[in-house]
Amino acid sequence: MAKVLLVIAPENFREEEYFEPKSILENAGMEVVTASLKSGEIYGVNGKKAIADKVVSEINPSDFAAIIFVGGPGMAEITDNAQLISLAKKFYQTDKIVAAICVAPEILANAGILNGISATSWQGSRQKLLAQGVTVVSKPVVWSGKIITAQGPASAREFGETIVTALNK
């Protein structure tokens, strides 16, 4: 059974981008662990609660098959966080699936792992990606090698399903 890490902001994550992929992954028989910059109860933009099992500094990529960065206003404030950028790089360097939705692809761009590939993101993040040399495409979900990016809440289901497909390859 694959073990997957979902990373959410310490507040104001997008619930659809968290709960929908989480449900799809669990229904596919995968173990899902949630991490953030703090552990415990975390509330999304609409007040729904998630529990962060771990803090990102405790994460060892070798324990997981994939990492998924969830978007939302809270994540938009921390896309340049050194711990998140380092975690994205470590997962990428160990040949794991690295996925991000909404504003979270900015973390991957900041980690330098979107160079030379196609990616997508929330409309408001596109200029930041383009400024870093990312080939931005207007599709709900883009799967390039080990990297999967998605636009936002409306693409959360397809995002989750694409991650399951990638993990089952």
Task: Please state, in angstroms and rounded to a whole number, the distance separating the CA atoms of residues 110 and 38.
Answer: 21
pLDDT in tens, 75-115: 999 999 999 999 999 999 999 999 999 999 999 999 999 99
pLDDT in tens, 26-72: 999 999 999 999 999 999 999 999 999 999 999 999 999 999 999 99
pTM (predicted TM-score): 0.98
Report which of 46, 21, 45, 47 is spatially closest to residue 34, judged by C-alpha positions: 21
* CATH number belonging to domain 3-167: 3.40.50.880
Task: Please state, in angstroms and rounded to a whole number, the distance separating the CA atoms of residues 1 and 99.
Answer: 19
Q: What is the mean pLDDT of the chain?
A: 97
Question: In the chain, what are the domain boundaries?
Answer: 3-167
Residue 116 banded pLDDT, cuts 50, 70, 90: confident
